[in-house]
Amino acid sequence: MAPIPLTAYSKDLNSQNLVASDLLIERFLVSSFTTSHMMEPVVSSEKAKFDTEASTDALLEMALEGLARDGHCGERSRLQDRLPASNPDTQHFILIELIKLNMALAADAGVIERIEDYTEAMPNGLSVATVPLDLVMEEIQLRKDAGQACSHADYCERFPQFAELLRPLLDSAEVTGAVRTRSVPPELPIGSQIDDFLLIQKLGQGAFAHVYLARQVSMHRLVALKISRGGGDESQALAQFDHPNIVRVFDQRTELGQDLHLLYMQYHPGGTLSDVVYAARDCQDGQCDSRLLVDAVDKNLLRAAQAVPERSLVRQWIRSASWPAVVSWMGVQMAKALGEAHRHGVLHRDVKPANVLLTAECIPQLADFNVSFAGAAGRAGAAASFGGSIGYMAPEHLRAISASALDQPENVRERADLYSLAILLWELWQGERPFDCDRHAVSWSDAVQSQLLSRSKPLNAPRQSGNASERVLEKVLRKALSHSPEERFVDGDEMAGRLRLSLHPEAAALFDPAENSFSAWVAKWPPWVIASTVILLPNMAAGILNYEYNYQHVMSTEGMRDGLQRVSWFVNLTVFPFAACAVIWYSRRIVRAVDAARRGVRVDSADLGEVLELGHRAARLSGSLWLVSGIVFSLVMATLFHEFVWTQAVHFVLSSMICGGVAMIYPFFGMAWLSTRVFYPLCLSATMQDREFDQRAKQMERRCEYYLLIAAVIPLLGATLMILSETASQGFRLTVIGAALLGLLASFFAYRVIVNAWRMMATVLSRKGSSVPGEVDS
């Protein structure tokens, strides 16, 4: 049975050491340049054939593992015998890493070797002039760990070419807070028992740990058991999480008799995301089938002699979904997991395919946290910034591990994890990473600089079919891959919200409208202009209709008509400017919200509420003004003209109520439509988060029903008014009733559009549960 990658199960517990040998071993055994199985003892030729990058990685992995297995090489020149048949640059690169590991193994035995010991033993392969910076840094770190003083003057004399670059390293009192007390634990026989664990199968091994599939006797369950010397804070960091997308660490124990540290966690036989990435590289023209994920998991399940789920809603959905949707689905869950870790102050720092375990249901679980605490800024030097594989590092992370940036480790924060996740998702989607870099680096420093240079170049153009899911996915990944951390997503939940939109193309049209759509055109206008137009025009139209009706069919004398005209001018010149000012005043928070959204700033929840309130407020204001206007008009006309009778006053009030109803339903449904289709999605397009969404949706639907009822009453009032009007012509009566019925139909249509839009938005914003199987709200 093929061993399962040791991704999450064999992490070096002392991973915060800057250039100590255990971290260097891990850096390359976990694929510095490409995704690969972190600790598989044999790299298959099938995976090594993909490109030069993968081949170099495989050769390096085998060389390092061979030396780690055989132990320290006392005859230093024999290290050259371990070099694989390859080009000179690759051989030089691997030789440097072998020297680092050999020096580290010697340090574990209490002997600190110097670089000159190797240049003298291998004059043809290495000279003082060609020593890379990272090898010098390795010696410095080993000496500091052993308590030896490191003089800047000494290193300037020995390696003058690095005098300035070494100054920040040697001038600091301490490079890292880590103390290396590591040694290789003994390999235990299969079938034996240690503490509460019966060893069933060896899953893999690293330089300083062995991992076994074991049965916990007391609990009758299978676990992944990691056995190492010494302890660490990995278990404490991960045990605090109870998240469906973070691997569960059960507990840790210490075997005092053998001085062994036992860490046991969930066992997932579905393999890692590395298997899926390798399969994605084989896809023709980047067009992957979603069954790729299920097939990769099934192969690992069969190798581990585990049952393949026969009935699974998650697997059924994956098989039916498009590949971009599947990538987004996995991204949503991993982004939420990172968001949960970040809320607890824990940074991952090593997000890559090999560190994503897959359950039998194909659900991803983040593992192998590089155990760095955001709150531990007091650790001097670069301890809080290192770890991870350079192929997936953010620019600030790469700068932090370069010698020129050792004094700025605090720049590597939560958004660096999101950058790494974006690289992973792009690679899963396209079968390759979003940028190109030099694959023939001759040293660790050159590799870091090559990767850093690639981050400043434009991203590669993706191969895509142009559907809505891919359009949204590409936009999300490009934002997460912004060179500046400030331009990326604020947190994992924000990134998850945007990725979730890719799973629902019908909702994507709301939050990501096409450039030539009506919604995109409206969004370009100032909100107060749109609001004033939608609210004031119906009121003006209603005013003209009301005036014509009262002038022609209610006023019985020329004097009363002249009086109506004078009073109308006075009222209109008073009320309409007041209404316009009120609309602009109420629109100010919409303007602020839209402006914040356009700048990519999170919109305040209160401002979001104001975006949806404007139509309701305008409707109430309009209805109130029309009712007051009808009463005031009647009182003024009765005061001015003694022949003005009560039946005319009733006509005035009824006509004002009808016009008030029109002035309520059109502004409300107009603004509700614009808020639902344009302004609210625009305000959420950057974050895709609104904790009050369900309450807002319920309130909007309830208000639409209320105003729809008002729209249904208006035709009845109009018909009543026309029946009471003896002077109204047949044509005028039909016009009024027809306009009222048209308003009812328009209101009903707007109601359906608004309610359906909120239901579509609920698929990505509601907290009541996801419509996609396997997606769990955190």
Binding site per annotation, positions = 226
Q: Is 215 helix (H, G, I), strand (E, B) or coil?
A: strand
- The span from the CA of 336 to the CA of 357, in Å, is 15
C-alpha dist (Å) from residue 771 to 504, 701, 713, 759, 766:
9, 21, 38, 12, 10
Instruction: Locate the DSSP E strands across 288-380.
Output: 346-347, 356-358, 364-366, 372-373
- The span from the CA of 718 to the CA of 725, in Å, is 10
Backbone angles phi, psi at 312, to 5 degrees: -145, 120
Inter-residue contact 360 to 306 (CB < 8 Å): yes
Token pair recorded at residue 674: 């614009």
- The span from the CA of 628 to the CA of 633, in Å, is 8
Q: Is 489 helix (H, G, I), strand (E, B) or coil?
A: coil
- The span from the CA of 398 to the CA of 380, in Å, is 18
- Name the nearest CA neighbour of 145 among 99, 177, 185, 183: 177
In sequence order, the β-bridge partners of residue 372 are 347
> Count of alpha carbons within 13 Å of 672, Cβ hemisphere only?
34
- Nearest 5°: CA angle at 334, between 328 and 337? 145
- Name the nearest CA neighbour of 536 among 591, 590, 580, 572: 580
Q: Which residues are annotated as a binding site for ATP?
A: 226
What does the DSSP assignment read for 750-767?
Answer: HHHHHHHHHHHHHHHH-S
Instruction: Work out whether strand 209-216 and strand 197-205 pair parallel, antiparallel, or are unpaired.
Output: antiparallel
C-alpha dist (Å) from residue 693 to 296, 612, 676, 677:
38, 11, 12, 15
Instruction: Tell the residue number behind the tokens 């240049």, with chain if given.
Output: 119
Q: Is 66 helix (H, G, I), strand (E, B) or coil?
A: helix
What does the DSSP assignment read for 524-584?
Answer: TS-HHHHHHHHHHHHHHHHHHHHHHHIIIII--SHHHHHHHHHHHHHHHHHHHHHHHHHHH
Alpha helices by DSSP H, 404-550: 414-430, 444-455, 468-480, 492-501, 505-511, 518-523, 527-549
Instruction: Tell the residue number behind the tokens 């008002």, with chain if given.
Output: 710
- The span from the CA of 20 to the CA of 643, in Å, is 103
User: CA end-to-end span of the chain, whole Å?
Assistant: 37
- The span from the CA of 184 to the CA of 105, in Å, is 10
- The span from the CA of 515 to the CA of 466, in Å, is 14
Token pair recorded at residue 659: 């016009």
- The span from the CA of 233 to the CA of 293, in Å, is 33
- The span from the CA of 138 to the CA of 468, in Å, is 49
- The span from the CA of 436 to the CA of 511, in Å, is 32
For helices 291-303 and 273-281, the axis angle rounded to 10 degrees is 130
